[in-house]
Structure 1
Amino acid sequence: MNPNQALWEKGDFTQIAQTMRKSGEAFVAKLGITKDMYILDLGSGDGTTAIPEAKLGATVLGVDIARNLVEAGNRRAKAEGLTHCTFQVGDATDLHELNDQRFDLVVSIFGAMFAPRPVDVAREMVRVTRPGGRIVMGNWIPGDPTLVAQILKISAAYTPPPPEGFISPMLWGVETNVVDRFGMAGIPKENISCVTDTFTFTTDYPPSQLVDMFKTYYGPTMNAFEAAEKEGKALALHQELLALFERQNSSSDPGKTAISVNFLRVTVTR
């Protein structure tokens, strides 16, 4: 199996996605979506941004590497009565099943950044976007002090080194890399803008339970705990993550969690 597919089919990311719904809707509300738009949501998961896009009247295709998330997205769309929102399995590095210049808007929020071969990802996103259309990405920022970069940093300390040739997905959070990658796909620098934005994880349960959710359902964290268990370090990993989540929680209610996370918001004009 494709290693990237195996990672995201591990566990059940829909459980984490539940904590991202409100911010997903808020993000989509700022995209200027109209009813006549045709949107590709790439690395869509179960529809955190695709479902809100469709609710604004756009025709939306969600594409994700993980079969379980595609199935979950189609269930959500059906339950919402969104006949113009569908999900299918696909690889962001090779969207051969999609025609050139097909979409008015391509959106990828913490999705395509995790695919290998980032230059291929950039080229495919550009290829399927119509002239005058837009690509909007949300990418986690390497070394950022907020939650996600720190989860991945802590997890990496407990796992074996990545294979030779591995390109960190976090490099999508560096503006110069974004410009270089889209430049190789034919996009001039002046058509690319990058700004720091925030995304908030919200739950009706405390940080300790959110740590358990990541431990149980989030592929990278699951791998870290499996490796730490073999070394007798699972408790240390858990304590490190718990301290991180509690430190970053801004909710005034001890029974709830609200953690804002920085990300790089990328807008590309085709």
Structure 2
Amino acid sequence: MNPNKALWEKGDFTRIAASMRESGAALVDQLGITKQHHILDLGCGDGTTALPEAKLAAHVLGVDIASNLVAAGNKRAKEEGLSNCVFQEGDAINLNFLADRTFDLVVSIFGAMFAPDPFAVAKEMVRVTKPGGRIVMGNWIPGDPTLVAQILKISAAYTPPPPAGFISPMTWGVEANVTERFAAAGVSAGNISFLKDTFTFRYPGPPKGLFDNFRLYYGPTMNAFDAAAKGGKEEDLRRELEELFNSKNESGNPQQTVIPATFLRVTVAV
């Protein structure tokens, strides 16, 4: 099985996505979507941004590598009566089932950044976007002090070194890398803009509950715990991550969780 497919099907990202709904909808509200837009949401999960997009657009196609998330997205769309929103399985590095110049807007929020070949991802996103259309990515930033970058940093310290040739998904959070990848796909640097933005995780309980969702259902964290257990360091990892979640909680109430996380918002004019 494709390692990325195995990673994202291992857990149940819908448990994490539930804490991201409000921020997903707020981001979509800023994209200037109209009823004429045809949108591709790439690495869509179960529809955190795809469903809000469908409430504004003509049609939304959500594509994700994980079959369980595709099924969950289609279920959510049906429950909300969004017949203009469809989810299907696909890989961000090879969208050969999609024609050139199909979409007015391509969105990928913490999705396509995890695909193993970033240059192929950029090329495919540009290929399927109509001239005059846009690509919007949300990418976590390496070394950032906020939640997700720190989860991935701490987890990496407990996992074996990646294989030769591995390109970290966090490199999508570096402006120079983004510019280089889209330049290789034919986009000039002047057509790429960057903005530091915030996604806020909201959980109706103490931070430990949100941490437990990451530990039990988020593929990268699950893999880190598997590796830590083999080295007898599972308790060390648990303690580090639980302290992280507690320290980042800004709710002012230990029984509620509100944790902001900074990301790089990329907008590409095609």
| Range of TM-score over shorter length | over 0.9
What's the offset of the Cα at 1:60?
0.1
Counterpart amino acid of 1:85?
A: C
Equivalent residue number for residue 84 of structure 1: 84
Native 8 Å contact 2:138 2:265 kept in 1: yes
Native 8 Å contact 2:200 2:259 kept in 1: yes
Q: Residue 196 of structure 1: SS of its match in structure 2?
A: strand
Equivalent residue number for residue 98 of structure 2: 98
Equivalent residue number for residue 250 of structure 1: 250
Equivalent residue number for residue 230 of structure 1: 230
Equivalent residue number for residue 54 of structure 1: 54
Scaled by the length of structure 2, the TM-score of the pair is 0.99
Where do 4+ consecutive residues of structure 1 move more than 3 Å?
Answer: none
Listed as ranges, the matches of 1:154-233 within 5 Å are 154-233=154-233
- Measured in 2, the distance between the counterparts of 1:195 and 1:247 equals 25
- Measured in 2, the distance between the counterparts of 1:180 and 1:153 equals 24
Native 8 Å contact 2:53 2:60 kept in 1: yes
Q: Residue 158 of structure 2: SS of its match in structure 1?
A: coil
Counterpart amino acid of 2:141?
A: I
What's the offset of the Cα at 1:206?
0.7
Q: Residue 144 of structure 1: SS of its match in structure 2?
A: coil
| 1:26-76 Cα distance to aligned partner (Å, 9 max, x none) | 000000000110000000000000000001133100000000000000000
- Measured in 1, the distance between the counterparts of 2:269 and 2:179 equals 12
Unaligned runs of 5+ in 2: none
Native 8 Å contact 1:4 1:115 kept in 2: yes
Q: Residue 19 of structure 1: SS of its match in structure 2?
A: coil
Equivalent residue number for residue 74 of structure 1: 74
What's the offset of the Cα at 1:11?
0.8
- The answer to whether 1:112 aligns with 2:112 is yes
Q: Residue 124 of structure 1: SS of its match in structure 2?
A: helix
- Measured in 2, the distance between the counterparts of 1:217 and 1:55 equals 28
Scaled by the length of structure 1, the TM-score of the pair is 0.99
Identity %: 69
- Measured in 2, the distance between the counterparts of 1:188 and 1:57 equals 28
| 1:132-177 Cα distance to aligned partner (Å, 9 max, x none) | 0000000000000001110001001111111110000000000000
Q: Residue 194 of structure 2: SS of its match in structure 1?
A: strand
What's the offset of the Cα at 1:209?
1.0
Equivalent residue number for residue 5 of structure 1: 5
Native 8 Å contact 1:63 1:87 kept in 2: yes
What's the offset of the Cα at 1:254?
1.3
Count of residues paired in the alignment: 270
Native 8 Å contact 2:147 2:244 kept in 1: yes
Counterpart amino acid of 1:57?
A: A
Unaligned runs of 5+ in 1: none
| 1:176-230 Cα distance to aligned partner (Å, 9 max, x none) | 0000000000000000001111110001011111111111000000001011111
